[in-house]
Structure 1
Amino acid sequence: MIGMYAHHHGSGHLQRAFAVAAHVDDEVTILTSANVEAATNPDPTRIRVLPLPLDHDGPGAVAEPDRPVLEPTAGGRLHWAPLGQPGLRRRTAMLTGWIDTHRPTVMWTDVSVEVTLATRLTGTPVVSTVLPGRRDDIPHTLAHGVCSALVAGWPRSAGAPVPAGATEPLIPVGGVSRFAGRHPDQADRGHGRARVLHLRGSGGSGRDRRWDAVRDELDGVEWVELGGPGGRWVSDPWSELCRADVVISAAGQSSVADLAAADAHVVAVPEERPFGEQDDTAAKLDGLGHGAVVGHDSTVAHLVRAVRRTLERSRSTPGAGSGLREAWEIDGAAGRLAAVLETVAADSMAGAR
């Protein structure tokens, strides 16, 4: 049995867990507080999901509004472990109880310092995802140091540093995408009326009105918008990704991986995240020379220029992709991550004999 923990922020962590689980030969249980309806289980007979309660009093949790949040970081040593939080207590008990019952050979945490530490304290080997950005604070340093291996969802060309607290370099596996098994049919890309797809994910905040002004500036362009609070959602946006001449998207890891799988021409808009995660991902993308990156505070005029330049590049070679799929190492990424888990599991079993 292999365990996987998928964080509940956005839908990317759960989608990534299912993608990797599909490449694992052993049985898998995904433990998560995320909305499981946001992703498709590729093999329900072998891949199970254990829903966990949320560890806060926000939407979807059992709120106790009169209870104050006390010492959530344990003096700066953890990221989120408030005293007296009932959801946190129950989810930790469920996690360790599941480990005691099923005795997984390895747990992959994507991502949580607290789940990583709780798992390791049961004597279970842990593999953790290292997200982009600066992660040299005390909690990350502690979590990195207790892991048997550390993986990253970016290509090898973007670097394999030794994370703070670790003794070995992390293992870049490439971009893990739920669409890795598909290949873009680009017959509609670059022909007819220019088409711009604006993706607004589930992990962001409010609507960025700058893009409404950009849309109004682009005469003759078909503008399609998906996602965001109150927006139109589709369960499978693959055809939209492949039809668009340009895709405007945040720079979350799963978002970039899905765009790369479609070999899309991208305008990346990094959103503000802790530790500069999306800024770092966008910088890696920019360093490969694929797509355009705009800033948090870019003017409407700058955004219009970025979209137009990307449109010109896309339309100059009708039907061709951007090259991002190969550069971001989409093909085989989920299998490479699964292989890391199976190697750690095999080593732990050999050591236990």
Structure 2
Amino acid sequence: MIGVYAHHHGSGHLQRAFAVAAAMDDDVTILTSADVGAGGNPDPSRIHVLPLPLDHDGPGAVAGTVDPALEPTAGGRLHWAPLRQSGLRRRTALLTGWIDTHRPTVMWTDISVEVTLATRLTGTPVVSTVLPGRRDDAPHTLAHGVCSALVAGWPRSAGAPVPAGATEPVIPVGGVSRFAGRTPEPAGRGQGRPRVLHLRGSGGSGRDQRWDAVRAELGEVEWVELGGPGGRWVADPWTELCRADVVISAAGQSSVADLAAADAHVVAVPEERPFAEQDDTAGRLEALGHGAVVGRDSSVEHLVSAVRRTLERSRSTPGAGSGLREAWEIDGAAERLAAVLETVAADSEVGAR
């Protein structure tokens, strides 16, 4: 049995967990506070889900708004462990109880310092995801140091640093996408009226009014909008990704991986995240020469220019992809991550004999 912890913020962690679990031969249990929903599990006979309670009392319960007397960061040593929080207590008990009952050969945490530490304190080998951005604070440094291996969801060409607290480099596996098994179908690109797809994910907040102005300025294009608070959602946006000449999207790891799987032409809009996560991902994307990156404070004129330049690049080769799928190493990424888990599991079993 292999255990996976998937964080509940946004949808990317859970999607990545299912993609990697599907690439494994062993039984897998995903432990998460996220809403899996109907049809989210690709193989219920082998991939199990253990729901965990939330470790907070609502959307407003973040470190900056919680009573300091509850010591949510344990004096800066952890990210989130408020005193006397019943959900935190129950989820930790469920986690360690599951480990005691099922004795997983390895646990992959994607991602939580506290779950990583709790797992390692049971004597279970841990592999953790290293997300982009600057992660040299005390909690990350501690968590990195107790892991048997560290993996990253970016291509090898983007680098393999030694994370703070670790003794070995991170292992880049490429972008893990739920769409990796599909072949891009960009035949409709470059045909007829230019088509722009604006994706607004579940992890952000509010509506950026600048894009309404961009849409008005680009009156010649067909503008399709998906997601966001109060917006239209589709369970499977694959067809829309393949049809669009340009896709405007935040720069979350799973978002970029899904765009790369569709070989899309991208305008990335990194959202503000802890540790500058999306800024780092967007920078890696831009450094590879794929996609335009615009800032959170860019003017409407700058945004319009970025979309038009990307449209010109996309439509200069009708029916072709951007090359991002190959550059972001989508094919085989889930299998490469699964192989890391299986190697750590095998090594731990040998060492226990």
Q: Does the 8 Å CA contact 2:66/2:72 hold for their aligned counterparts?
A: no
Q: Conserved in 2, the CA contact under 8 Å of 1:11 and 1:38?
A: no
Percent of aligned positions with the same letter in both sequences? 87
Greater alpha carbon shift after TM alignment, 180-189 vs 113-122: 180-189
- Corresponding letter in the other structure for 1:70: L
Q: Which range moved further: 31-40 or 77-86? A: 31-40
Measured in 2, the distance between the counterparts of 1:43 and 1:342 equals 19
* SS of equivalent to 1:350: helix
Q: Please say if residues 154 and 172 of structure 1, whose CA atoms lie closer than 8 Å, have aligned partners that are also in contact.
A: yes
Task: Give the aligned CA root-mean-square deviation in angstroms.
Answer: 1.5
Q: Match of 1:224, SS?
A: strand
Query: 1:333 maps to which residue?
Result: 333
Counterpart in 1 of 2:44? 44
Structure 1 equivalent of residue 27 of structure 2: 27
Partner of 2:258: 258
Equivalent position amino acid for 1:251 in 2: A
Contact 1:11 1:39 in 2 (8 A): no
Aligned to 2:246: 246
Is contact 1:174-1:333 (8 Å) kept?
yes
Aligned residue for 1:147?
147
Counterpart mapping for 1:3-152 below 5 A: 3-37=3-37, 40-59=40-59, 70-152=70-152
Q: Size of the alignment, in residue pairs? A: 350
- Residue 312 (structure 1) aligns with: 312
163 and 68 in structure 1: CA distance in 2 versus 1, 3 angstrom threshold: closer
Q: What CA distance in whole angstroms lies between the structure 1 residues aligned with 2:69 and 2:239?
A: 44
Residues 323 and 26 from structure 1, CA distance in 2 versus in 1: closer, same or farther, beyond 3 angstroms?
Answer: same
What are the residue-to-residue correspondences of 1:154-303 with 2, within 5 Å? 154-303=154-303
Q: Deviations over 1:285-309 (max 9, x none)?
A: 0000001000110000000000000
Q: Which amino acid aligns with 2:222?
A: E
**For residues 167-186 of structure 1, what are the alpha-carbon distances to aligned partners after superposition, in whole Å with 9 as ceiling and x for unaligned?**
00000000000000001111
Query: Using a 3 Å threshold, how does the CA distance of structure 1 residues 58 and 324 change in structure 2: closer, same or farther?
Result: same
- CA contact under 8 A between 1:250 and 1:268: conserved in structure 2? yes
* TM-score scaled by length of structure 2: 0.97
The answer on 1:347 being equivalent to 2:323 is no
- Is the Cα–Cα contact under 8 Å of residues 241 and 264 in structure 1 kept in the other structure? yes
Q: What is the CA distance between 1:34 and its match in structure 2? A: 0.5
CA distance in 1 between partners of 2:101 and 2:233 (Å):
38
Partner of 1:151, secondary structure, is strand
Shift of 1:109: 0.1
| Distance of aligned partners of 1:152 and 1:38 in 2 relative to their CA distance in 1, 3 Å threshold | farther
Where in structure 1 are there 5+ consecutive unaligned residues?
Answer: none
Whole-Å Cα distance in 1 between the matches of residues 35 and 69 of structure 2? 24
Q: Secondary structure at the match of 1:49?
A: strand
Mapped to 1, the partners of 2:295 and 2:316 lie a distance apart of: 25
Q: How far did 1:40 drift?
A: 1.9
